[in-house]
Amino acid sequence: MSSELLVWINGELVPKSQAKVSVFDHGFLYGDGVFEGIRAYNGKVFMLDEHIDRLYESAKSICLVIPLEKEQMKKAILQTLKVNGLLNAYIRVVVSRGEGDLGLDPRKCLKPNIVIITDKIELFPDELYERGIEIVTVSVRRNSPQSLNPNLKSLNYLNNILAKIEATNAGKPEGLMLTLDGYVAEGTGENIFIVKRKELFTPPAYMGILKGITRQVVIELAKEMGYPTNETVLTLHDVYNADECFLTGTGAEIVPVVKVDGRIIGDGFPGTVTKSLIQRFRVYTQQVGVPIE
């Protein structure tokens, strides 16, 4: 194992301090590219096929041809984890348009750049999973799906970043984004669920949200556990009056929300449904996945 993390760049493993791409890369100049965040648990990569499929779908939608087959990409991810000796890790796969000129024309970019980074991640301290977090609705609205499809995980994340800045300035760890029409969309980097009488509700994809992979896992686990789950339009009124609320994401996993815009959710503590889903999800992440070896 190297003393310095190695980064996979276009087929080569290079030390983190030497991992570089050109300043003329359109990913840097214009945010022209796609990415995925993936997790490895106990030596297995969680939901790898689903993440790879979404990466290639995002790339296809922006006319970006990834110069690796899916199986080659998977092998590169596993290789990078193995060489860094990481059994539990966060994986960031980035495919940029590549080096071009200062114009917008992607045809000037002849070869995409592929970068695979493996490292640790902690979006929220452990104690917040025990006591829950407080979030605030931000004024930055989620991009309209008529302007930019939310299922494109592009390198331009400015919409989410501006919302995160607003939440941070308000002293809260996460912000809740609404649609242009004022309906509940998602967090700055997570999907949202509410629980009412032990029934789950989450905004449908057509509201302009990312169809999160962790979101889908939670929906499936909840159904297995006997919790009815509905994809339905939600308002802030619904959230304020929920029995429970939580966010889901690859990095965040499942994090309980106990206060929204100053309104206490339920009794102000993580609820029984949320806690049971967290426990079940953590077990599930240890049971499934593609082995690194």
DSSP for 244-289 reads: EEEEEETTTEEEEEEEETTEEPTTSS--HHHHHHHHHHHHHHHH-S
Per-residue model confidence as pLDDT tens digits over 218-271: 999 999 999 999 999 999 999 999 999 999 999 999 999 999 999 999 999 999
- Alpha-carbon distance of 259 to 267, in angstroms, equals 10
pTM: 0.95
Q: Which residue ranges does the chain devote to CATH 3.20.10.10? A: 126-287
CATH number of 126-287: 3.20.10.10
Greatest pairwise CA separation for the chain in angstroms: 57
Of 44, 153, 164, 172, catalytic: 153
- Dihedral Cα 274, 277, 281, 287, nearest 10 deg: 160
Predicted local distance difference test score (pLDDT) of residue 123: 76
Q: Which residue has the tokens 């556990």?
A: 225
- Alpha-carbon distance of 129 to 267, in angstroms, equals 16
Find out whether 177 and 150 touch, Cβ atoms under 8 Å.
Answer: no
Q: Which residue ranges does the chain devote to CATH 3.30.470.10? A: 6-119
Predicted local distance difference test score (pLDDT) of residue 198: 97
- Alpha-carbon distance of 136 to 116, in angstroms, equals 33
Predicted local distance difference test score (pLDDT) of residue 124: 83
Predicted local distance difference test score (pLDDT) of residue 1: 45
Q: Known catalytic residue: 196?
A: no
Q: Which two tokens stand for residue 51?
A: 């993440």
156 secondary structure, DSSP code:
-
> Checking DSSP bridges between strand 253-260 and strand 133-137, what pairing results, if any?
parallel
CATH pick for 6-119 out of 2.30.30.100, 3.30.470.10, 3.30.70.1530, 3.50.40.10: 3.30.470.10
Regions in the chain scoring below 70 on pLDDT: 1-2
- Alpha-carbon distance of 249 to 38, in angstroms, equals 10
